[in-house]
Amino acid sequence: MTATTRAERLDLLRAADYNLFRLPSDKVTLDFLTDSGTGAMSSEQWSGVMRGDESYAGSPSFARFRSAVTNLFDYKHILPTHQGRAAEKILFSVLGGPKKIIPNNTHFDTTRAHVEESGAEAVDLAKSYPTEDHHPFKGNMDIDSLRTLLEQHSSRIPCIFMTVTNNSAGGQPVSLRNLRETSELAREYNIPLFLDACRFAENAWFIKQREAGMSNRDISSIVREMASLCDGMTMSAKKDGMVNIGGWLALNDDALAAACSEKLILTEGFLTYGGLSGRDFEAMAVGLTEVIQESYLEYRVKSTAFFGQRLIDCGVPIVEPIGGHAIYIDAARMLPDMPKEEFPGHAIACALYVEGGLRACEIGTLMFGEAAVHELVRMAIPRRMYTQSHIEYAVEVCQRVAELAKQGKLSGFRMVKEPASLRHFSCELTPISYGEVANNVVEASKQADYSAKD
Ligand SMILES: Cc1ncc(COP(=O)(O)O)c(C=O)c1O
């Protein structure tokens, strides 16, 4: 673990223009920024890396990867990409465009950005629940809203998306029943349904645990059924592919696959390597067999639940029930008086770094602007990385920040430099206690700990 003092962390944060993505990671004690590509690969995966075949075309490593993918997701065309957003970019540049509408249970940041970049409108249709509500499948698509949208605009909808698990809505799963209903509706209108499948194995685990009649099924059979209800998928293998880089776009439709393949060759690389090297395919092929092992999934979900339960016990408000890959602190409940325009989630994320060197990620108004439904701070847990004592330390830091929030000692933020899209990655911010914005938190933030000298 990296040791820094509080004063050093304040300086580092200032130097990063209060954007946690700009911090040097060797100055972060525990990194919960993302679970994407940050996990540890297994010895089996590393051995696979050693036999990577780097042929430009027709590599046997690609063939092994392809068969590992189709073993779970039996789609006709598998297009390798360097990560999930490259698959999104290719698909939406073919299917998107002005006047089109793409519904999703909830778009993640890159998905929404690619839909919007194509000129289409990204519509989120998951029901919004209070964060403390214990519905077992809060990631579900709101079928009634989808039906209404289809009745009114089906000719403008080139595809429907389902994100599993629903990352922006607190890492919440989608039930098989809901996926089936969405699929029936999509087929009624002859519109292809795609999975944004980043955390498919965690979603299947929740189906097995929480959905009636599912407890005796194999994870692989649940995943296969999820795949069979859809017509294709985008995948960031940096999550449930268990690798540090990789992804793919999978499709059944020949004409769509041909159009996407042209874009793939133009932007990523030839059809049998995409944006990857042969060794990456070997690591993904093994990762896909490891991620569906029940012992792994049980450990993964229980260790996340341990973190979340400790926070609940300490009075830190989080999204419940606890999801698979992350804990989501509810910043709106922690800082009820801070307006969302001052990014309460970001205020908490900055305090977590200053107080204890934890790095987390705001998922709220800073990330999504007006499309944000909740003000959350996501503490994503890298796969196979942290131990219980790391988590105990993180809990102590969260508890301290919750106390500071209660005492009115956290400052809101305002943006001083904003890029046109995906602003949270590279924007610059400043605490309001240093700025000229006048509002009801200025008095509290004048004493903000950001102005402390030690
Ligand atoms: C639900 C979801 N979709 C898409 C992506 C994009 O994947 P990538 O980061 O590999 O581009 C992410 C990444 O965090 C995600 O969580």
Here the CATH number for the domain that contains residue 190 is: 3.40.640.10
CA distance 65 to 155: 36
CA 238 to centroid of ligand 1, rounded, Å: 8
CA distances from 168 to 227, 345, 370 (A): 21, 13, 14
Residue among 108, 234, 280, 328 whose CB has most ligand 1 atoms within 8 A, to mutate: 108
pLDDT of 183 reads 98
Residue 370: phi and psi, rounded to 5, are -70, -20
Residue given tokens 């998107």 in the structure block: 96
Phi, psi angles (nearest 5°) of residue 33: -60, -40
Q: Is residue 38 part of a domain?
A: no
Residue 124 lies in a domain: yes
Among residues 60, 121, 130, 120, the alpha carbon closest in space to that of 94 is found at 120
pLDDT in tens, 335-361: 999 999 999 999 999 999 999 999 999
Helices (H) and strands (E) in the chain, counts: 18, 14
- Rg value, the chain, Cα: 22
Q: What whole-number distance in Å separates Cα of residue 77 and Cα of residue 256?
A: 10
pLDDT band at 441 (very low <50, low <70, confident <90, very high): very low
Could you give the maximum distance between any two Cα atoms of the chain, in Å?
A: 65
From 22-26, 157-161, 236-240, 443-447, the region with the lowest mean pLDDT? 443-447
Measured from the Cα of 83, ligand 1's closest atom is: 10
CA angle 263, 266, 271 (to 5 degrees): 75
Helices 388-406 and 294-313 cross at an angle (nearest 10°) of 30
H or E, element range at 143: helix 143-153
- Please work out whether the CB of residue 167 comes within 6 Å of at least one atom of ligand 1: yes
Same structural domain, 286 and 332:
no
285 and 394 inside one domain:
no
Domain range for 252 is 43-290
Same domain, 53 and 159: yes
Task: Please indicate whether residue 238, judged by its CB atom, sits closer than 6 Å to ligand 1.
Answer: yes
Checking if the pLDDT of 70 tops 90, the result is yes
DSSP assignment letter at 241:
T
Please report which confidence band the pLDDT of residue 182 belongs to, taking 50, 70 and 90 as the band edges. Answer: very high
User: Of 351, 313, 348, nearest to 333 (Cα)?
Assistant: 348
Q: Are residues 95 and 13 in the same domain?
A: no
Q: State residue 316 phi and psi, 5-degree precision.
A: -85, 120
Taking the C-alpha atoms of 402, 24, 384 and 65 in order, what is their torsion angle to the nearest 10 degrees? 130
User: What's the confidence (pLDDT) of residue 1?
Assistant: 67
pLDDT 10s digits, 164-175: 999 888 899 999
112, 236, 368, best to mutate for ligand 1 pocket (most atoms within 8 Å of CB) = 236
Residue 436 domain-assigned (yes or no): yes
Position 36 in a domain: no
Element of type H or E holding 88: helix 84-95
Per-residue pLDDT tens for 370-419? Answer: 888 899 999 999 999 999 999 999 999 999 999 999 999 999 999 999 98
Residue 129: inside a domain: yes
Residue 325 alpha carbon to ligand 1 centre in Å = 13
Distance 35 CA to ligand 1 centre (A): 10
Residue 83, ligand 1, Cβ within 6 A: yes
Q: How far is the CA of 125 from the centre of ligand 1 (A)?
A: 18
Rounded Cα distance between 454 and 448, Å, is 13
Verify that 237 and 312 share a domain, yes or no.
Answer: no
CB-based contacts of 83: which residues, under 8 Å, 6+ apart? 37, 236, 237, 238, 245, 246, 247, 275
The best mutation among 198, 245, 268, 367 to test binding of ligand 1, ranked by most ligand atoms within 8 Å of the C-beta, falls on: 198
Q: Is residue 21 part of a domain?
A: yes
Cβ-in-10-Å burial (0-12, 13-18, 19+) of 266 comes to exposed
The whole-number pLDDT of residue 433 equals 72
E-assigned strands of 82-185?
Answer: 101-104, 121-124, 160-163
Read off φ and ψ for residue 376, nearest 5 degrees.
-115, 155
Inform me whether the pLDDT recorded for 444 exceeds 70.
no
Based on the structure, what is the number of domains in the chain? Answer: 2
Left (φ > 0), alpha (ψ -120 to 50) or beta: where does 369 sit? left
Share of residues in the chain with pLDDT > 90 (%): 89
312 and 432 housed in the same domain: yes
Are 250 and 320 part of one and the same domain?
no
CA 197 to chain centre: 10
Q: Is residue 193 part of a domain?
A: yes
Q: What is the CATH number of the domain that holds 433?
A: 3.90.1150.10
Nearest to 381 by CA among 316, 283, 303, 297: 303
> 259-270 pLDDT, tens per residue?
999 999 999 999
pLDDT tens for each residue of 16-53: 999 999 999 999 999 999 999 999 999 999 999 999 99
Same domain, residue pair 213 and 332? no
208-212, 255-259, 369-373, 398-402: segment of lowest average pLDDT: 369-373
* Residue 453 pLDDT: 38
Residues 274 and 335 in one domain: no
The domain boundary residue, chosen from 238, 261, 290: 290
Q: How far is the CA of 263 from the centre of ligand 1 (A)?
A: 20
225 touches 259 (CB < 8 A): no
End-of-domain residue from the set 290, 319, 348: 290
Is residue 397 situated within a structural domain? yes
| pLDDT number for residue 370 | 87
In angstroms, the CA 426 to CA 317 distance is 28
Among the candidates 290, 307, 336, a domain finishes at 290
**Do 267 and 382 fall into the same domain?**
no
What is the 237 CA–ligand 1 centroid distance (Å)?
A: 9
Rounded (10°) angle between helices 6-15 and 344-356: 140
In a shared domain, residues 52 and 183 = yes
Q: Which atom of ligand 1 is nearest to the CA of 36?
A: 14
Question: Of ligand 1's atoms, which has the minimum distance to the CA of residue 166?
Answer: 1
Does 361 lie in the same domain as 268?
A: no
- Kindly state the tokens that stand for 108: 């993640």
